[in-house]
Amino acid sequence: MKLAILDDWFDTLRGLPCFARLDGIDVTIFTDHEPDVDRLAARLQGFDAVVLFRERTAVTRELVEQLPDLKLISQRSVYPHIDVEACTEHGVLVCSNMSGGVSHAAAEMTWALMLAALRDIPRQMESLRAGGWQTGVGKSAHGRQIGILGYGRIGGQVADYADAFGMKAVIWGSEKGRARAAADGRIVAASREEFFATSDVVSLHVRLKPATRGMVTAADLAMMKPGSVLVNTSRAGLIEEGALLDALNAGRPGMAAIDVFDEEPISWANDPLATHPNLIGTPHIGFVTEDEFEIQFADIFDQVVAWRDGAPINMINPEAAAS
């Protein structure tokens, strides 16, 4: 069995304890990203299975049609980057564990970005390194209101952090999410307008899917306080295209702290959003910790081994297994 692992940029996976689960399998790890479909197809000729590193590579119909030997794609969580219909038509089984606990790495990253924005840490560091001293006055988290959009596992964890920091956590989201928050004793905003207008920090914790794409609109951002902070460690597509840059230019919100961008990785200089003076940006590292990788790839490698042994698990398109 020949297995390709894509987009392991820092060659991290072979150093994880769970990598031993692939003993006996012919594994090739690619540490670069190949965006060209034809070159990627040429690279993957002869492989029986592919492991995806989150959504770093899209599996399109055009790609699948050029991989006659491919029989398995193993990954974890949601799969908007995979053309499942094309995979099924070509006998490619997609396995993805959709369960799991809280991503503490993502929740911690949310909190790190929020604190960095409130205390203006990047600019203070730049001043110190340039031989200067204090560049302004920050804001305390304690006593302020954080609006959490989306009350799932990560949103709930962020709300718990807010409690520890003495912040007022206010929830908005789907009707079901608001009901869960209320049942947990959380404060639920009276309206969407109140949620955006009264929060000192708004943090997004919603899965990106067709129904949620662009759910945060320019009008929502325009209601935010001039001194407020928008935090996004979920997906860039949750915000209406172009709205965040326009909002920062207009001063509402006053700052944004984001880990996700419309196109990743950013491969050009002077991106107007990434380099905006009122934006703190990180290159989608919310899940990039050794601890999180061990959790995720243990599941992914188990799926590979189960398929090799003729008992596939976590099948998204089981009909492909019968073809």
* Catalytic residue annotation: 235, 264, 284
For residues 109-126, one letter each, b for 16 or more C-beta atoms within 10 angstroms of the residue's C-beta and e for the rest, the string is bbbbbbbbbbbbeebbee
The amino acid that residue 36 corresponds to is: D
A 10 A CB-CB count for 50 gives: 24
A 10 A CB-CB count for 181 gives: 24
Q: Which two tokens mark 297?
A: 């790839």
Query: CB of 314 within 8 A of CB of 74?
Result: no
- Complete DSSP assignment for 239-279: BPTTHHHHHHHHTSSSEEEES--SSSS--SS--TTTT-TTE
- Helix, strand, coil % over all residues of the chain, rounded to 5: 35, 15, 45
Q: Which two tokens mark 127?
A: 């001043």
Query: CB of 48 within 8 A of CB of 69?
Result: yes
Query: CB of 201 within 8 A of CB of 145?
Result: yes
Distance CA 11, CA 148 (A): 35
Residues 6 or more apart whose CB falls under 8 angstroms from that of 269 comprise: none
Distance CA 220, CA 239 (A): 10
A 10 A CB-CB count for 249 gives: 11
